[in-house]
Structures are given as C-alpha cells and as structure tokens.
Chain A
C-alpha cells in the first residue's frame, strides 16, 4: 500500500522557471492538501481540494496554482519560481472530514536559486 506518493523528491530551479509537483494517493480519499514547511514556521497550507472538482486557497496561495486532476491526483504548479519559494513541500490527504487524520507524502525539497 503506497499511501501518498510525491514526485520529485528533490528539485533545483532557477528564478523564473516553472515546474509542477505531482501527488497521488491510493486510499480513495476525497480531500487532498498541499503544505509548505519552513524552519521555525511549521506547516502552512497552500491549497486544498475538499473533493474531486473543487480547489480552495489556503494560508499562502500566492505564486502557486493547483489542479485536482481526478480523485487520486492533486498537482501543485509554480509558474515563475522565486527564491522565497525555497521550501519543503508536502502533499497530504484524508478521507473527508476535518477530524480525520492526515496522511502525508515524504515531501519534495525545492531550492530556487
């Protein structure tokens, strides 16, 4: 059982480049999330998708876009990367309620030079 799978694990970009982080879950979860983790700041929600076909902004959405491609997949796109987007990105999912635990992927370490 793979759980939540994120690709790539590491990425280095130059300022202005674009890229898409991929996330897929095999647990038939309805809700999916993208977080960024920065030292001393915990995890901050970028975007979430409560169910297939819906997406909503989280706490720090600027500079990002998302696509809920289907029930399994939720991608995060950086259209024009900036050094401030250097971070560790985590995808997470849960069944369908706020009191349900989150299942996390292993993260993508992104550096923007």
Chain B
C-alpha cells in the first residue's frame, strides 16, 4: 500500500528565507511523486512531478524537489520565500497501473514580512 506523510501542518518563514516542506512516502513499487499548491478558494495546481530519471526536479515559481530513494523522501524547497508563496502545499504519490493518487494532509506555508 502507498502512503504519504507531510511533516508539519503549518510552516512559517520570513520573506527571503529558505522554504523547506517535508514529504516522506511509502510505496512497494516505483512511485510517481507530485507537489501541488492550493491558493485560498482555489483548486490544486501542479508545482512539479517526479517520474523517473533525474532526482532533482524543478518546478514552477522557483520551487524544486529532490527524490531520495534511500530516505523515501521528496522534500520541496525554494531558496528565497516570497509573500505570494503563502498557500497550502500537498505531496502526492501514485504508481503505474492504478488511478489512485494518495495525497498527504497538507502543509500551510505562511510567509512573514
């Protein structure tokens, strides 16, 4: 069975500081991993996805994530936070042969001026 754990339901950073949102997954088969962002009163939008190949994945808005198989992690980072990054972020996992995405419980990012 697949699962996703996001550590920290709320994260606060200062504007200009590093953003680090943590995601660990469990999967018995090679996973496909995703980060989605949700702005207030909107649906989720894809930030980035990992399928196979390069372990460092670059996404939109300056975000990137590194797939570490040995640590079963897929943490999301951004070198310098901007006020517009304030949103809720969801990690998700799926695998070939199933239509079921498994979403984490989400991390709400607050950016302090």
* Bound-state Cα–Cα, A13 to B65, Å: 41
Chain A count of residues within 8 A CB distance of the other chain: 26
In the complex, chain A residues 22-58 whose Cβ is within 8 Å of any chain B Cβ? 31, 33, 35, 40-45, 48, 50, 56, 58
Q: State the majority secondary structure of interface residues on B.
A: loop
Does the CB pair B46–A98 fall under 8 Å?
no
| Interface pair A104/B45, CB less than 8 Å apart | yes
User: How many chain B residues touch the partner (CB < 8 A)?
Assistant: 25
> Which A68-94 residues sit within 8 Å CB-CB of chain B?
90, 92
B41 in complex: contacting residue of A42, A43, A106, CB < 8 Å: A106
The 5 closest A-B pairs by CB, nearest first: A104-B43, A101-B46, A43-B103, A42-B103, A42-B105
27 contacts between A and B (CB under 8 A): A31-B99, A40-B9, A40-B105, A42-B90, A42-B105, A42-B106, A43-B101, A45-B100, A50-B99, A56-B99, A59-B100, A90-B43, A98-B94, A98-B96, A98-B97, A98-B98, A98-B101, A99-B94, A99-B96, A101-B46, A101-B49, A102-B36, A102-B46, A102-B101, A104-B43, A104-B44, A107-B42
